[in-house]
Amino acid sequence: MRIAAGSDHAGLDLKLLLVEHLRKLGHEVEDLGTHSAESCDYPDYAAAVARAVQAGDADQGLLVCGTGVGMAIAANKLPGVRAAVVSDTFSAHATRQHNDANVLCLGQRVVGPGLALDILDAWLAARFEGGRHQRRVDKIEALARHGDTG
């Protein structure tokens, strides 16, 4: 799987750990930054990862900041991107199965490294179920394109 990863300074350490884990699992990972602990703006990295997913250059995205929330808000501005902030394994699995989320957002200040690895593994193991969930994802995409669900 091709995965685009990004973080701001507050998520750098966790992102580096997760990128290393992904590569050990055999995934192709493009780390789009930041590569420094110097203060930076999370929307820049959220946009880079979201654009990679949107363009099909990456199958999935991974974003890490202090809470994961800012990254998700920014990434979800791009049509076709369904970014989810996750802090437990059940939600990681469910958001892929039911929402076809394609960008995982984590908070370095919220989850520890061990839990983050478990969340990432649960995320990777889950598959979109389609069926009744596809209708709902289609409505989300309609909202992004037209501002309404129909």
Contact 117, 83 (CB under 8 A): no
Q: Give me the DSSP letters along 5-25.
A: EEE-GGGHHHHHHHHHHHHHT
- Residues labelled as active-site residues: 65, 98
Rounded to 5, what percent of the chain is helix, strand, coil? 50, 15, 35
